[in-house]
Amino acid sequence: MAFDFAPLAPAGAPPPAARWTGSARFNFTGGNNDADAVPLDGLMAAAQAVLAREGRSLSHYGLASGPQGYRPLREFLAAKLARGAGIACTADDILIVSGSLQALDLANGALLARGDTVICEQDNYQGTLTRYARLGVKPVAIPLDAHGLRIDALEAALADLKRQGIRPKFIYTIPTVQNPTGTILPEDRRAALLKLADAYGVPVVEDDCYADLIWSGQRPPALYAMSKSEDVIHIGSFSKSIAPALRVGFIVAPWSIMSRMLALKTDAGSGALEQMVLAEYCRDHFATHVPQLRVALRKKLDTLMEALNEQFGTAAEFAAPEGGIFLRVKLPDQVDTLTLYQKALAAGVAINPGPEWSTDKAHAKSRMRLCFASPSHEQIRDGIAILADICRKEFGVPERSANVSRTRD
Ligand SMILES: Cc1ncc(COP(=O)(O)O)c(C=O)c1O
């Protein structure tokens, strides 16, 4: 008989994971990217060049660059962040991590204890919300509008917490192409957020992994760049600009907190080959690759919006995001997207139901998030047609789709 590990699991361990059974045929979930846009030729040439030149440094943990990651990659990032995000930093202010998920774990690990409070956006990245739940941390959620986090609500929440004698550990925000709403926090709101953070003595965790994917190529300055009091931890990633499976992200932070996060990164460094190949590729090609990727993504967004208009008509409400890889869609109130998710999955269409991406389950009930980056144009059109059909059968909406009037079966 197989050994029973279950009784040995420590209290608080997460429930066992389900086995992976493959991806849905029409996959609108997750943060996957456009397969055709992965710069394969450039990455192959970079791998060849960097390994031929300095591959023997793989014999040493950290590639003789120390625990913060491959130095040429950190140097590339310092220059890129100065140009795009307005961040003045050096390679020494940057820690390379295994995707921005590890960055979240390190920031959480350095700052949070069970029972703590954090402030975050109401609609939020599922990976962040599940982390807070697992850590026993209370998220105080701030609603968003068309321009991101509402500063009036943030001010009210900070004042309210202060009255209760609670000092939140940090404000976690995704200010630049928010996940899942796609909003971009304008510069004046960024300034107001930082002013409040300063006034209440609360630091900021800035999760900025979509910042390269704004259609116009123009992003507001990072909170890290605007802060005058060294109270921002800035998190970025190559997942959205190059490829998520590489698992390379980074943190820019003042040494006072960087040193604490570094002490928690006990994996002897993130994958070195990925860092070397990225540094080699990005030095000459990042600036041309990203605009091409943006054009490809923008076209897919258009296809998705057209398909939704055609299949759902007025039943699907959405605002075109200014960048990123997701579209947030509001369906009529009677639609429960958790049920829609189950039914659609059985028909080979995977969506992200709103309640998994929000602290306010009722508000999110009839909302869904669709990733348009990874399905092909054809899959987008076919998948949305199937989704509309299932939605109509389950919830009676859309009444008409693809210009065909239908009644509920
Ligand atoms: C807001 C946000 N943060 C972090 C991540 C994790 O990204 P990665 O670990 O691939 O860098 C994602 C992925 O979708 C995300 O949307």
- Residue 156 CA to its chain's centroid (Å): 26
pLDDT in tens, 283-298: 999 999 999 999 999 9
pLDDT score, position 404: 54
pLDDT at 407 > cutoff 50: no
Q: Which pLDDT belongs to residue 162?
A: 98
Residue 238, pLDDT > 60, answer yes
Summarize pLDDT for 188-211 with one digit per residue, the tens. Answer: 999 999 999 999 999 999 999 999
Q: Report CA(107)–ligand 1 centroid distance (Å).
A: 14
CB 262 within 8 A of CB 282: no
Q: What's the confidence (pLDDT) of residue 249?
A: 98
Neighbours of 403 (CB within 10 A): 8
pLDDT band per the 50, 70, 90 thresholds, residue 406:
very low
The string of DSSP letters for 311-366 reads HHGGGSB----SBSSEEEEEPPTT--HHHHHHHHHHTTEE-EEGGGGBS-HHHHTT
3 CA to centre of ligand 1 in angstroms = 36
Candidate from 239, 328, 372 with most ligand 1 atoms within 8 A of CB, to mutate: 239
Report the alpha-carbon distance of residue 267 to residue 250 in Å, rounded. Answer: 15
- Pocket lined around ligand 1, Cβ cut-off 6 Å: 31, 99-101, 125, 127, 174, 179, 207, 209, 237, 239, 244, 249
**101 Cα to the center of ligand 1, angstroms:** 6
Residue-wise pLDDT tens digits, 13-67: 888 999 999 999 999 999 999 999 999 999 999 999 999 999 999 999 999 899 9
For residue 56, how far is its CA from the centre of ligand 1 (angstroms)?
32
pLDDT in tens, 348-397: 999 999 999 999 999 999 999 999 999 999 999 999 999 999 999 999 99
Q: Tokens for 76, please give them.
A: 């590339």
Instruction: Please report, rounded to a whole number, the percentage of residues in the chain having pLDDT higher than 90.
Output: 95
Q: How confident is the model at residue 401 (pLDDT cuts 50, 70, 90)?
A: low
